[in-house]
Amino acid sequence: MINLIQEKMCRLRHKFKNLLLSMLMLLSASLLAQEDKLLRAQQLLKAKNADEARLAIDSVILHPQTSSDFMSWTVRAYIYADIYKRTDKYKLHSSLRDSVISSIKISNSLKPDSSFKEQNRKLAKNIAYGYYNLGKTLLYDSLNYEASQSAYNNYKDILSWVEPSEVNNKEIEYYLGVGSLYSDIFNKDNNNTKAGDIAKVALLKVIEIQPDNAMANIDMGLMYYNQAANLSRSLEYGADFDQIDIVQENLIKLGKQSLQFMIKV
């Protein structure tokens, strides 16, 4: 009886070893298959066939054995970036662009080596500056300040974790451009209060960062000066004294507001 039990246990152990070996072989084969797909995705990207590369890499990042590999996510970011540049570069909202950024963030969270970390940084910065250029296009070509600011804010969000030291310089450049553009519009038509409000907010942002910025202070001063000049011209001959007093009071206020900026230049 004891011999029969021992023989049975021996057979079970043998079956278990064979089963374990089969499982290991399957796992190895599966891992090799995913690694092959990763290599194929890289080759397809190099061959300028990003659409086919996308199919391969999306399979790789869904597999549990390669989803935690930073290389997979960096390759995915570059593949999606290639498609984005061809199809969505001038779109404010792009799921492709969003996928590039999310892939870079996941790769960075998986502690990539210095080479891949630098690749991630360069690509993220490239996407950020794409937003910045789009913001300028929407501002100057379309006069769409809301859309332009949305693009700029996306640029700033990315740059804050890629190159934080560059944020302030671009903040001045962007808002100085906004202020200059909309102050010109307002100076030509003081009834366009929306343009005036946009200009003032933008220029004050510049002055907050750089109080002695000559262009921002001049533009602010000129806006108040032009308001005063237009108000003075609007006073009709023969106006009653009450109206004249009100206009004079407003002229003094506008003059003081203009002066506080002009004296900084």
Q: Confidence class of residue 108 from pLDDT cuts 50, 70 and 90?
A: very high
By the 8 A CB rule, do 251 and 228 touch?
A: yes
Rounded mean pLDDT, 218-247: 70
Q: Please indicate, yes or no, if residue 219 is contained in any of the structural domains.
A: yes
Q: Please indicate, yes or no, if residue 209 is contained in any of the structural domains.
A: yes
State pLDDT tens for residues 47-86: 999 999 999 999 989 888 788 999 999 999 999 999 999 9
Higher pLDDT, 229 or 205: 205
* pLDDT at 24 exceeding the cut of 80: no
Residue range of the domain that includes 219: 179-265
**Domains in the chain, number:** 1
Supply the pLDDT for residue 257. 82
Q: pTM score, two decimals? A: 0.80
Q: Please indicate, yes or no, if residue 187 is contained in any of the structural domains.
A: yes
Q: Confidence class of residue 17 from pLDDT cuts 50, 70 and 90?
A: low
Q: Please indicate, yes or no, if residue 237 is contained in any of the structural domains.
A: yes
Q: Please indicate, yes or no, if residue 27 is contained in any of the structural domains.
A: no
Torsion of CA 79, 85, 87, 91, to 10 degrees: 120
Identity of the highest mean pLDDT range in 37-51, 108-122, 249-263? 108-122
Torsion angles phi and psi, residue 128, rounded to 5? -60, -45
Q: Confidence class of residue 237 from pLDDT cuts 50, 70 and 90?
A: low
Amino acid at 72: S
Amino acid at 31: L
Q: Please indicate, yes or no, if residue 211 is contained in any of the structural domains.
A: yes
Q: Please indicate, yes or no, if residue 28 is contained in any of the structural domains.
A: no
Supply the pLDDT for residue 199. 96
- In the chain, what is the straight-line distance between the N-terminal and C-terminal CA atoms, in Å? 106
Q: Whole-angstrom Cα distance, residue 234 to residue 229?
A: 9
Burial of 60 (0-12, 13-18, 19+ CB in 10 A): buried
Q: Please indicate, yes or no, if residue 200 is contained in any of the structural domains.
A: yes
Structure tokens at 51: 């659409």
Supply the pLDDT for residue 23. 43
